[in-house]
Amino acid sequence: MYPNWLVQRVKMTPNRIAVTFENKSWTFQQLFDEVMDTAGSMKTAGINTGDRIALLSPSNPQLIVGIHSCWQLGCEIVLLNERLSIEELGYQIHDSQPDLVLIDEKYRERISNQKVLSWDELLLKNPSTVDVEEEWPLNRTMSIMYTSGTTGRPKGVRQTLENHTTNATSSAFNMGVHPNDVWLCTMPIFHISGLSIVIRSVLYGMEVKLYTKFALDPIVDDLVSGRVTRMSVVSVTLERILRELEKRDVNVSPKFQTMLAGGGPVPSNYLERAMERNIPILQTYGMTETSSQTATLSPEDAVRKLGSSGKPLFLSFIRIDGANNPNEEGEICIRGGLVTPGYIGQYAETPSQHNGWLYTGDIGYLDDEGYLFVVDRRSDLIISGGENIYPAEIENALVQHPMIRQAGVCGLDDEQWGQIPVAFVVVDEELSLDSLKVFLQSKLASYKVPKALYIVDELPRNASNKLLRRELREWLTSKSNE
């Protein structure tokens, strides 16, 4: 058994700030009071202990209150991605079979054939008395989150109390916890990066400065002024921050402690530019099935091991399947209390672990000191003339070009070579394939140089801003049919 997260936090630091959103802040005591009122209204609405509640809402304080309210009632939550199509939402709701869908009113038309209640309707109900549980069982499923769907149908991943607590504890061991920490949260809460920040807030007693969406100017203002001390980013948001800092010719505040960069390999060019702006950037590696981080580069290794995702966190284990020696590539496998016990719905019978290990589908290696380097997704691997080509390696080289802001690479079927690499780029100025080939000559082997170049306004990304290379492949298919 573990303590009830929010109840325990209120006992310890009731007057510490929990959440700031726009111009309003809540202490942990104020958050708890609002949570209990909302939980009481949920109970009046017929929500019972053990129910499964789906939440469809923007990342705002109401969603945070709703999440905690469900947990105070002993309910599982299914976090729905507000950017999904009606069809995609329909799949996840049908697969998860929630007892109720709680929504922001503006999403009502996107939900059908389901019991639905809006926040506004819920709060009109008189609160019932809710008995608070002082302790929670470790194996309780706290949240269900669908994988980002970079390959195939998304799976509904169960995340237990043990999973979340182990992850947050491991992260604290790695980064430390400071009384004045403020985590700037722009990651969507329906994504594991966002939810893990909400959970860390309660476990660490840490303020979250919440943004509904990524807003460049005020975010950079926060970083420069010293208003925040931590932040999570992916490559595309990191690049936007860097460009704005360079445009203003300013550095982040010395008070800023950590910028966690995840969601896939980060180009070395971005990491070097971040160092020039005094950003303590740490690459991290994790996934929905591990409730966020499972490896993170420690601050003292940030320069020496540039490009690494660090060593496994204290309470996790990582091995490379099929590798017998350092620097040998293979599938990354993870074990520990942060690994999901399984899935729900149509994947309920699909095991999440084999002999205690989660097989991630990612390719990487451990160097001679045990540092993890993530190479790419196994499903994105391009095999050309028998040679393995990793799209991330080519993308890393492409974004070093002064005119290229973002890059995405995928494989195109080819009769002679099996597959050839093709690049999609977002640029500041027009450039030709020939000039690009000249630029890449010293950076990539000839077989890795893209054989076709497409200039686009934006790259396809999911809600957590991960590049969707499968959509790039679909773009190629549509172009070949034109």
With a CB cutoff of 8 Å and minimum separation 6, the contacts of 478 are none
Q: What is the pTM of this model?
A: 0.83
pLDDT value of residue 152 = 58
The span from the CA of 387 to the CA of 393, in Å, is: 14
Cβ(184)–Cβ(219) below 8 Å: yes
| pLDDT tens readout for residues 245-260 | 999 999 999 999 999 9
- Residues 70-98 as b/e (b if ≥16 CB within 10 A, e otherwise) read bbbbbbbbbbbbbebeeebbbbbbebbeb
Residue 47 exposure: Cα atoms within 13 Å on the Cβ side: 35
Neighbouring-strand partners of residue 312: 295
pLDDT value of residue 356 = 93
Task: Pick 165-378's CATH classification: 3.40.50.12780, 3.20.20.70, 2.60.40.60, 1.20.140.10.
Answer: 3.40.50.12780
| Domain with residues 381-480, CATH architecture | 2-Layer Sandwich (3.30)
The span from the CA of 195 to the CA of 191, in Å, is: 6
pLDDT value of residue 390 = 76
Which regions in the chain score pLDDT beneath 50? 150-151
The span from the CA of 253 to the CA of 237, in Å, is: 18
Q: Give which of 179, 171, 223, 238 is closest to 200, Cα–Cα.
A: 171
Cβ(84)–Cβ(38) below 8 Å: no
The span from the CA of 79 to the CA of 395, in Å, is: 31
- Domain spans, the chain: 2-136, 165-378, 381-480
Cβ(170)–Cβ(286) below 8 Å: no
Residue 277 CB neighbour total at 10 angstroms: 17
The span from the CA of 434 to the CA of 37, in Å, is: 64
The two three-digit tokens of residue 191, written as one number? 């994504």
Same fold, 2-136 and 165-378: yes
Q: Give which of 287, 226, 240, 279 is closest to 262, Cα–Cα.
A: 287
pLDDT value of residue 414 = 80
pLDDT value of residue 150 = 47
The two three-digit tokens of residue 11, written as one number? 């006992």
The span from the CA of 210 to the CA of 31, in Å, is: 14
Q: How many Å from the N-terminal Cα to the C-terminal Cα in the chain?
A: 60
| Domain with residues 2-136, CATH architecture | 3-Layer(aba) Sandwich (3.40)
